[in-house]
Structure 1
């Protein structure tokens, strides 16, 4: 099965590279560092200490990896980390988050999953361990790591029922790969049980590392400056919205203006930067006045627009800090939802849609704690926002519940680090 899988990779490679080039028309980062994706990295620099390999595919996984990366560098002061990604946005996020570590952290794209490319990566960097974040399972990568005696760890692992059903369709290809994983540190017992069903031998429940993320002071400062530019206006944030959701949110917002505070500001932050221009056109088509964050001066000017479009990278904490109520996107449509831990950690009332299968237990726990509220659709979202924005006491209580929920679940990084010691 793995031989057939490898053959399919080689046959598909011209199409994969063509798609990469075409995506580069909207995101230039896709046209950079191609050699890395093929397993070429130039002259190797001998490492003075152990090299720890952490793979975080995109933005969410990179942000989730921050507490673990910081803890690894602190626990192993002679080590260096190679942080790999698959997307330019993930790489840009890593650059912003980890610049403070200087030469102790190097970024690269993950090579495509062929045995030769992965083997070149391992020979070049000679990692002591491979730590994959959340849901990444690559059959050739795991097999080549096994051949080179590099233990593979799946950290902060989550596996929904839907993802498990998809995985079982690949039969022996995925189960063989699963058996090659040395350790899985799962977010919940339900995740652990689903992972065990694939044949992984060692699975431990550690909780979600995302609860351990420390809000950067710089992000809070930007959030405060953003709030000063907005002024006393109530702010409804729709964060990490996905394709199709703005088509629901914007008409609902327009229709609900009579029930919402008269001076409300709608702050929309699309999850994918290539959609910023598209979403701006959608806002204008609704007859709403829009301003882009990238053009907003934070030096004393006052924001007059109906909608602020969050078109910047690495400022999600700042957006959460500046809002009064936060809706977490990816949940109005069957996309699985996004992480609600960040707004909860900042003490913001959280609204979430019906489709949260990627973060099922975390969402249910937040709902049970009274820190989040589920809404049926975009109209219900606006009705819930109207109630919260008109009731300061309810808003404060819900925010405090959210923050308490987030604080109670800390500690996953420490537990994961303890499990990694023997492998490193």
Structure 2
């Protein structure tokens, strides 16, 4: 049951249930529009109504992460739980097609038979009920900031223990929830476990009703190194040869032009420079090719093109290939940090030995970004001129690049134990294994 929040919580939550119920007949049209734009899988729209359950026998843990980053965070946690509980099956839900594709590509083959993926149902009471009654999870884990009142309320009403892990809550979001304090207490108080990324996140969550919120760190820092198929890696290395490579990874609108300007400045110092731009949203590739045409020598990976001798800027507008590009680059700007987006995960590059450059906007990863800069594992840049200067120094000074990657590797290694710690806390929410107490443990 949800914690009692009195009528001050009950009325807004009842209003939300009414609005979502009344609006439900319009949602198929909205989903169809998203499907036409490629944002939904047309063959799987029924999952957004909570349909398609195929519950396996035995204990089942439901984990939900909205998009690529959150779902990737779930993988080391699932692996840790699978080692501890050999009888446990997993339902992973996401809200985006990209996240579903990345999960399919990165799920370890030995774990795949125990994992099913579905798209999360929309937060409509009937959809939530159909989903939960079909799957009957023994516990639920929401990742980061997925607070859906109808889903949470329906799970609590069915006695499903819910954890919120890798939780983050910005000051702006906390102020928003603070305008409905009774609702916040009722929703955040429903979690049996709250593990936040930072102490600031934990403090905001405690103030909103998650009394036992703890700061445990960020699961994104525990992820396995991003993969890169050897044939593609060998082909790219052959195409690039000895050219120095600057990567702009997961860029957002407003950053690509700055990277192109930095490329132009660097070409005088490094005539053979190849700049690779990997947009956060790959569908931007063709538009970027037109936008950056003046830079000359544009090639698109989505079109099957390889970087040739005349390629100045290579647009890596594909999904799930950052592991490939980090392995090829001599320095990487982490996207979302030159514009006020908040930055992407800098440890993805660090784990693959790629020196890291960060813009001024890293609030999504404040603690780790500041730690990397302080330890000499990353350099700050604030625009095209600073980016060209920093990238040039890293690309031409091997000793500096080596010291940065060594410092970054030490920071990345520190985050390795979090999935096991979190798995232990989540396991306590599940029914006891029939093998518990006999000393049996699966091989690691």
Q: Equivalent residue for 1:380?
A: 386
Could you tell me which of 291, 297, 310 is aligned with 1:289? Answer: 297
Pair 1:152-2:162 in alignment: yes
Query: Contact between 2:260 and 2:295, CA under 8 Å: does it hold in 1?
Result: no
Q: Equivalent residue for 2:253?
A: 243
Q: Equivalent residue for 2:45?
A: 34
> How many equivalent residue pairs?
418
Pair 1:75-2:84 in alignment: yes
Distance in 2 between the 1:324 and 1:37 partners? 42
**Tell me, what secondary structure is at the counterpart of 2:107?**
helix
Pair 1:136-2:146 in alignment: yes
Over 3 Å counting, the alpha-carbon distance change for 1:162 and 1:122 in structure 2 is same
Deviation at 1:83, TM superposition (A): 0.7
What do the CA deviations read for 1:358-391 (whole angstroms, capped 9, x no partner)?
1111111111111111111233212211221121
Q: Equivalent residue for 2:4?
A: none
> Which moved further from structure 2: 217-226 or 340-349?
217-226
Pair 1:189-2:192 in alignment: no
Distance in 1 between the 2:301 and 2:129 partners? 43
Deviation at 1:224, TM superposition (A): 4.8
Distance in 2 between the 1:29 and 1:303 partners? 38
- TM-score scaled by structure 2? 0.88
Matches within 5 A, 1:251-330: 251-259=261-269, 261-284=270-293, 286-296=294-304, 304-330=310-336
Distance in 1 between the 2:71 and 2:259 partners? 28
Deviation at 1:241, TM superposition (A): 0.6
What do the CA deviations read for 1:70-123 (whole angstroms, capped 9, x no partner)?
222222222211110111111111111226233311111111112221111111
Pair 1:215-2:225 in alignment: yes
Distance in 1 between the 2:335 and 2:201 partners? 22
Q: Equivalent residue for 1:97?
A: 106
Could you tell me which of 357, 364, 375 is aligned with 1:369? Answer: 375
Distance in 2 between the 1:254 and 1:17 partners? 48
Deviation at 1:194, TM superposition (A): 1.9
Distance in 1 between the 2:177 and 2:386 partners? 34
Distance in 2 between the 1:115 and 1:365 partners? 43
What do the CA deviations read for 1:128-156 (whole angstroms, capped 9, x no partner)?
11111112111111111111111111112
Query: Contact between 2:283 and 2:317, CA under 8 Å: does it hold in 1?
Result: no
Over 3 Å counting, the alpha-carbon distance change for 1:161 and 1:40 in structure 2 is same
Matches within 5 A, 1:351-370: 351-370=357-376
What do the CA deviations read for 1:374-411 (whole angstroms, capped 9, x no partner)?
11123321221122112121111112111111112221
Deviation at 1:24, TM superposition (A): 3.1
Distance in 2 between the 1:47 and 1:82 partners? 10
Query: Contact between 1:51 and 1:128, CA under 8 Å: does it hold in 2?
Result: yes
Pair 1:8-2:19 in alignment: yes
Query: Contact between 1:327 and 1:352, CA under 8 Å: does it hold in 2?
Result: yes
Deviation at 1:189, TM superposition (A): 2.1
Distance in 1 between the 2:250 and 2:288 partners? 12
Over 3 Å counting, the alpha-carbon distance change for 1:162 and 1:288 in structure 2 is farther
Distance in 1 between the 2:38 and 2:234 partners? 30
Distance in 1 between the 2:234 and 2:199 partners? 38
Deviation at 1:127, TM superposition (A): 0.5
Query: Contact between 1:292 and 1:310, CA under 8 Å: does it hold in 2?
Result: yes
Deviation at 1:225, TM superposition (A): 4.1
Distance in 1 between the 2:66 and 2:60 partners? 19
> Which moved further from structure 2: 26-35 or 105-114?
26-35
Unmatched tracts of structure 1, length 5 or more: none
Query: Contact between 1:280 and 1:290, CA under 8 Å: does it hold in 2?
Result: yes
Deviation at 1:201, TM superposition (A): 2.6
Could you tell me which of 163, 170, 175 is aligned with 2:185? Answer: 175
> Which moved further from structure 2: 63-72 or 223-232?
223-232
Pair 1:331-2:337 in alignment: yes
Could you tell me which of 411, 418, 423 is aligned with 1:417? Answer: 423
Q: Equivalent residue for 1:395?
A: 401
Distance in 2 between the 1:56 and 1:251 partners? 36
Query: Contact between 1:224 and 1:322, CA under 8 Å: does it hold in 2?
Result: no
Over 3 Å counting, the alpha-carbon distance change for 1:383 and 1:20 in structure 2 is farther
Distance in 2 between the 1:161 and 1:133 partners? 18
Distance in 1 between the 2:222 and 2:230 partners? 17
Q: Equivalent residue for 1:407?
A: 413
Distance in 1 between the 2:335 and 2:388 partners? 14
Query: Contact between 2:64 and 2:92, CA under 8 Å: does it hold in 1?
Result: yes
